Structures are given as C-alpha cells and as structure tokens.
Amino acid sequence: MAAASGIEAEAGPEDISFQGRGGAYVTMGLPGTPAIRAQPGPDLHLSGRVLKITASGRIKEIADPVSYEAANNPDGGLVDSNPYGVLALPGRQIVADAGGNTVLEVAANGTMSTLAAFGSRPNPIFPIGPPFVEPVATAIAKGLDGALYVSELTGAPFPTGFARIHRIAPDGTTTVYASGLTAVVDLAFANDGTLYALQHGSCGPFFACPGSIVRVTGSGPHPVIYAGLSRPSGFTIGPEGAFYVSNNGASTGIGEVLRIQP
C-alpha cells in the first residue's frame, strides 16, 4: 500500500527528553490522523503518541497528540498531527506538534492542553510552493528565564530566513523571540544562557544549502558557529561546551554523530 509505506517511512521515534532518574520521554512520529494511524495495522499502534520508557525498559503511553488534534484542531487549519519535539519537565511534558502547528502540555495525569498554536503565513516566494507556508513546530528548550522557546522548520518550500523562534512566557504569553532563520530542527541553551539553533538547511528553497549551527541573536543576522552540515536532525551541548550533532539525518545507513568544539 503506497499510503502505508509513506506512513512507515515517517513513523518512529522523533525526540527524547530525560527527567528524573532513568525516565525517558519519547515522541513517536505520525503524519496524519487517527484514521491514518489505523491503516498500516497494529504494528504502528504507538505512532503519534508520547511514551515514557523507564530505566528497566518498561514502555508506557503518556499522551496521544494525534487524537487530541483530531478532537480540538487548535490552529483551526487542516486536521493533521505529527508529534516531534518533547521537553520533559517536573510533573509535565511539553510537546511540539509539527503537523498540528501547536505546542501542547501533558499534565502528570495525562491531561493535554494547548500552550500555543501558530497560523500559516503567505509564502514570500510564491509561486514556488503553495500560497501559504505552515509554521511546523519542531524543538522546545527552556531558558534561564523560565520561558519556553519553540522553533519552526516551516513547511515547503522552506524559504530562506522565514523560520522563527517563539517564546512562551511562564504566564502563557507568546511572542516571536527571533526571526530570520531557516529550517530550524533543534534548539539548545548553553550554560551561560546563549541560545543556539540547528538549521536543517541554511537557505532555501528546499534545503538548497548545507545545514548549520547558529547563535541566535533576535532578528539576526545570526552568527554561524559551524557550517557544512549534511541534513542534520538534532543536537545537544555537552557539559564541556562542545556540540554533538546527528548528521546525515535524512539518509539511510550513513548517519553519524559529530562532536564540534566551537
């Protein structure tokens, strides 16, 4: 089945975040709706969900963003869900739904709520691509100020400089913190509070340039820390200040983890 094969290609673990002693929270990707999830059969029943994996290896379903999107559709657009980024915090998890264009909170009892929903914007390079570009929320990071920072990949055709980073204050107020970025797939704060972004491609359309790590400076330009990455998909900053990057993230059999000392 063509549809099923496409789902299988995109389903699977998208992000992981640890909280406490041995508790790992994982988002399982799925592009679509509960009906689409049911098409491939029982093997993909965990797709589109948030899971907790204990230190002993026990797997527990924490939340179902796909069903939440189908019931609520917070952004008011096409009903679509693809849980991507996750940040585990004491007593709750924050989820970036790339398909739903939303940021969701999962309470300790499993109740889900919407922290933010982002609308589409006119495509600045139309007719290359569709008339409007979706935001496509990707990663979440918590700043020293207690606020949450959420990145955008944006949808096709991934125009240069069209991606943003949103700031969700502790009181729920949402503002655009930074603009002028391209195809951001991950965020990380250094120990000194500096925010860094991983760009899947440094220019568009359609990832025309290699990926890069940039230091986020509001409206830009954003200083490039490291360029020449090949379709990177995630990164973190180690205790010694080095960047650890998953490179060749869109290719089979050649993925690698790079250590980059800035």
- The angle formed by the CA atoms of residues 174, 176 and 181, to the nearest 5 degrees, is 145
Helix (H, G, I), strand (E, B) or coil at 71: helix
Q: Name the strand (E) or helix (H) holding 211.
A: strand 211-215
C-alpha to C-alpha distances, 10 to 33, 37, 130, 204, 241, nearest whole angstrom:
13, 11, 22, 22, 32
pLDDT of residue 33: 82
pLDDT of residue 8: 41
Question: Lowest mean pLDDT: which of 141-155, 175-189, 212-226?
Answer: 212-226
C-alpha to C-alpha distances, 184 to 10, 27, 51, 71, nearest whole angstrom:
18, 18, 24, 28
**Sign of the CA dihedral running 217, 169, 245, 99:** negative
Q: pLDDT tens for residues 227-249?
A: 999 999 999 999 999 999 999 98
pLDDT of residue 6: 39
The rounded distance, in Å, linking the Cα atoms of 83 and 14 is 8
Q: Which of 48, 97, 94, 93 is nearest to 75 (CA)?
A: 97
What is the pLDDT averaged over residues 142-148? Answer: 97
Question: pLDDT higher for 43 or 110?
Answer: 110
Q: Is the pLDDT of residue 141 over 60?
A: yes
**Sign of the CA dihedral running 119, 125, 130, 136:** negative
To the nearest whole percent, how much of the chain has pLDDT over 90? Answer: 81
Q: Which two tokens stand for residue 193?
A: 């509070």
Q: Is the pLDDT of residue 18 over 70?
A: yes
Sorted by sequence, the CB contacts under 8 Å of residue 126 that are 6+ apart come out as none
Where do the domains of the chain lie, and which CATH numbers do they carry? 2-186 (2.120.10.30)
Q: Predicted confidence band at 45 (pLDDT cuts at 50, 70, 90)?
A: confident
Q: How far apart are the first and last CA of the chain?
A: 46
- The angle formed by the CA atoms of residues 214, 200 and 13, to the nearest 5 degrees, is 120
C-alpha to C-alpha distances, 216 to 16, 173, 181, nearest whole angstrom:
23, 20, 9
Q: pLDDT tens for residues 171-197?
A: 999 999 999 999 999 999 999 999 999
- The angle formed by the CA atoms of residues 193, 199 and 204, to the nearest 5 degrees, is 145
* pTM to 2 decimal places: 0.93
Q: Which residue has the tokens 């889900």?
A: 112
Q: Which of 99, 105, 114 is nearest to 66 (CA)?
A: 99
Cross-strand bridge partners of residue 29: 12
- Give one word for 218, left, alpha or beta, with left for phi > 0 and alpha for psi -120 to 50: left
